[in-house]
Amino acid sequence: MNVFLLITIAVTALDIFIIVFAFSLKFFSGEWKWKKKIKYVTVQQDTLIGLTLVFLTMLCCFLWVFYFYFIIFIP
């Protein structure tokens, strides 16, 4: 359980870092942001950060739910 707690805390710290980076993204100029064309689709940095934020937050919530489930219901 200690290793699972460590993994959960590490994912939470990464999630907090991505949240802070996403909020500070508007302060960067257009030169710092990048766009990349991948097979007829232009991928922007803002889009990738948003998708990463959504899925990483979802993973973080599931990890905490599983951790507390194991703490509460499994002796």
pLDDT, tens digit (0-9, with 9 covering 90-100), for 23-44: 887 776 666 566 666 666 666 7
- Among 15, 63, 25, smallest CA distance to 46 is for 25
Q: Full-prediction pTM beyond 0.85?
A: no
Which amino acid does the sequence have at 42?
T
DSSP secondary structure code for residue 30 in this structure: T
Q: What Rg, from alpha-carbon coordinates, does the chain have? A: 17
- Bin 44: left if φ > 0, else alpha if -120 < ψ < 50, else beta: beta
pLDDT for residue 11 = 95
